[in-house]
Amino acid sequence: MNERRRNAVASLLFWTGRSAGRSAEAVRPPASWRTAWRDLTAAARQTVDDGLVVGTSGNLSVRVGDAILVTPSGVPYDQLRPADLLAVDLRGRRLAGTLKPTSELPLHLAVYRETRARAVVHTHATHATAVSTLVDEVPLIHYMAAAMGGPIRVADYATYGSPELAEAATAALAGRDACLLRNHGTLAHGRDLRQAMDHTAQLEWMCRVWLAAAAIPGREPTLLTRDQLAEVAERLRDYGNPERR
């Protein structure tokens, strides 16, 4: 039985329990959800350890079948337990858990609707947030922008948790795996949680490199051209070992 079929069967069994009148917290979540929640909370704690978020800022989610597992609002990541598993459907309706979802749930759901994302990571990374206040597009300081689809755009500012922010972010993500949110932070998605985390780290690193180079008095950083970036994108098609991803 492939992964998609296993997830579908698990979800059916979960909903069978729900339809019998048992509450979301009373029905044991499928094993695939419990595994995904473990990985999600570990990644959330990593964002703190890596300095990408402060306190309870930032949020993460992962898609398992038609369920979205998402971090809750205002709970320190080091306090999240297996019993705190929180899941919603693609319309934001609660499937499991009792905690309140992140205030950025509309942002996450919009990304899943508009892309093929299987995981979404949003942080308030220092250097990336600083760059979001200076430019409309991250300068092409390094070729790894090609790994995220091309030059990284900066989404227009909108209040956190608002439909306007979700709309601005998905526009900035068109054809990209990451973007900056003006005066706010980073947003990245991927085929899995590891890739979304990697995009987040690469984006923060590129912003840090550009800020460091641009800070040298009397010098201007050399930047790549779009043609040079396109050449890298072509090379990346055969990069790595797909069977080990």
What contacts 55, CB < 8 A, 6 or more positions away? 76
H/E stretch holding 178: strand 178-181
CB 33 within 8 A of CB 10: yes
Instruction: Kindly give the pairing relationship between strand 178-181 and strand 154-155.
Output: parallel
From the list 104, 114, 204, 243, the catalytic residue is: 104
Which pair of tokens denotes residue 56? Answer: 């309870």
Q: What is the DSSP string of 191-225?
A: SSHHHHHHHHHHHHHHHHHHHHHHTSTT-------
Rounded Cα–Cα distance for residues 222 and 142 (Å): 10
How distant is the alpha carbon of residue 245 from its chain centre?
A: 18
Is 104 labeled as catalytic in the residue annotation? yes
55: phi then psi, degrees, rounded to nearest 5? 65, -130
CA diameter of the chain: 71
Rounded Cα–Cα distance for residues 192 and 182 (Å): 25
187: phi then psi, degrees, rounded to nearest 5? -145, 125
Residues noted as catalytic? 104
